[in-house]
Structure 1
Amino acid sequence: MTGTTRHSTSWRSLFARTPDVPARPTPGTVTLRATGLTVRRGTRTVLADVDFQVTAGEIVALVGPNGAGKSSLLAALAGELEPSAGTVKLEGHALTHWSPADMARRRAVLPQSHTVGFPFTAREVVAMGRSPWLHTPAADNDDALVDAALAATDVTHLATRAFPSLSGGERARVALARVLAQDTATVLLDEPTAALDIGHQEAVLKLAAERATDGAAVVVVVHDLGVAAAYADRVTVLADGRVAADGPPRTVLTRELLTDVYRHPVDVFDHPATGAQLVLPERGRH
């Protein structure tokens, strides 16, 4: 992706905030908090008494094995999954306090699947991210924000293509551009790199980091523990619907904990040249 730094660092200067355009939380402010969160699907408990929060200016990575509850937690935080017990608060208020439009001006969500029922163009899909700002002063900058999002995710050349005709990776980048164009203080990303090649994976994670640097609170579900180590300020490890650990990557991503949670030997070591923390599954010789 080209030009990401230029576009992301100028995002907040595109328009002034007014009563219709919520002010950005100051760095370190909790934007989204779950307390005692329990979620059941039928007779199965998928989240049990989970406490979680994210603050403005940080990236939190949600990691854990399949079925641990990562996507369920993200959906509950987004208000898309009704909790059986506990509370979720967005900017200090219960989710039920906000109208759908008010909530959409404060948090944006990237789901795992990217489907559109009609042949909208890629630009039209990205422009959907601006719909919460209709009839507010922020709408004056819709075109600029859409253009910036298309450029940041390297899909400007796809703007006139029908969304259903795009490859899985292209659809994923267009969907991310929609989230960026929405321009919210809290961003929830469910496996944003799943369909991407290595280069675009790194570019997406750098975009997420830049949004946090710009003051957003970012929660990202990832399977790659090395990605969590490299990009997250905090890592929350889920196992069997509960929080197994939460804290800085070097504190949380240990051989002992990960081997136990994933039920497979995991190596954690520092890169010999850069000193960066590396997390890899243990493999025998072939």
Structure 2
Amino acid sequence: MRLGRGPRPPGPRAKGAVAVSGTGLDKRRNGRPVLADVDATMTAGEVLALVGPNGAGKSTLLSVLAGDLGPDRGEVTVDGRPLGDWTPVELAMRRAVLPQHHLLSFPFPVVDVVRMGRAPWPDEGEDIVAGAMAATGVAHLATRSFLALSGGERARVALARVLAQRTGVLLLDEPTAALDLHHQELVLRIARERATEGDAILVVLHDLGLAAAHADRVMVLSGGRVVADGPPAEVFTPDLLTDVYQHEIEVLPHPRTGTPLVLPRRS
């Protein structure tokens, strides 16, 4: 820990620069391997979708890359420096994490929940808070208690908090799980906009169609290992997905855009 020095704010990242890198990551839970020799990178200006069946290790990998969970082996770096070289405040200035579950025990008003995203910064940034709430469609809920919201509303408020943190790295764990079709598209459009502005985005998704439509790159996990990593059109093949998901899958081009449509084969 550095003494006598305030937190070091992040500098600009060049588009295409590696923002977060994990090398040789292993993790065990209850004696069971959850990640095995995983290499993963997040790049500025790119949306990376992390996909795979239940239990593949997606949320664990996100937590390890975020620094919320330590690996048993391997190293994670942010902007080329090991996670341990950053203070908690410096790390919070560099990456924001949207967990899968939005746990909050007190009836804070929505606007105060979103303001929590400004905690690492010296200014409250009310314009930033307002912009995050407008972008996620929750401005009309500002005075409502977070605990009184529906699951989908809570998910969008939690995303607004992450956006208000104004970091160049976003790690989003199943941000579309509780949302209807309109809000799924809204969330992933926001992720695309942030990537266009130069941010590095990692998003865990179960819907392979959403991953194909919105991600620049997909990483497929199975049994804690990376089995494919690349553009959706190259990675999403019927043979690979059938093997990973243990269900026969067909992949068809969208008739207008050519984006892969991933469908279970039904009799």
TM-score normalised per structure 1: 0.90
- What is the CA distance between 1:40 and its match in structure 2? 0.9
- What is the CA distance between 1:21 and its match in structure 2? 3.3
Q: Tell me the SS of whatever aligns to 1:133.
A: coil
d(CA) in 2 for partners of 1:118, 1:244:
42
d(CA) in 2 for partners of 1:183, 1:39:
29
Q: Tell me the SS of whatever aligns to 1:118.
A: coil
Match of 2:32 among 32, 41, 44: 44
Equivalent residue number for residue 121 of structure 1: 109
Match of 1:132 among 106, 116, 120: 120
Asked if the contact 1:115–1:164 (Cα under 8 Å) also holds between the matched residues in 2, the reply is no
- What is the CA distance between 1:273 and its match in structure 2? 3.1
- What is the CA distance between 1:147 and its match in structure 2? 0.3
Equivalent residue number for residue 3 of structure 2: none
Equivalent residue number for residue 89 of structure 2: 101
Equivalent residue number for residue 216 of structure 2: 233
TM-score normalised per structure 2: 0.96
The letter for the 1-side match of 2:154 is R
Ranges in structure 1 where 5+ consecutive residues have no aligned partner: 1-18
Deviations 1:83-140 (A, max 9, x none): 1000000111111111110000000000000121111111000000000002xxxx26
The letter for the 2-side match of 1:150 is M
Asked if the contact 1:24–1:215 (Cα under 8 Å) also holds between the matched residues in 2, the reply is no
Matched, 1:261 2:209: no
Output aligned runs, 1:112-261, within 5 Å: 112-134=100-122, 139=123, 142-261=125-244
Deviations 1:58-87 (A, max 9, x none): 000000000000000000001111110000
Deviations 1:203-249 (A, max 9, x none): 00000000000110000000000011101110000000000000111
Deviations 1:10-60 (A, max 9, x none): xxxxxxxxx853222110000000000001112111000000001100000
d(CA) in 2 for partners of 1:275, 1:82:
40
d(CA) in 1 for partners of 2:8, 2:54:
40
How many residue pairs match? The answer is 261
Deviations 1:121-171 (A, max 9, x none): 11000000000002xxxx26x101000000000000001000000000000
Give the 4+ runs in structure 1 shifted more than 4 A. none
The letter for the 2-side match of 1:97 is D
Ranges in structure 2 where 5+ consecutive residues have no aligned partner: 1-6
Q: Percent identity?
A: 60
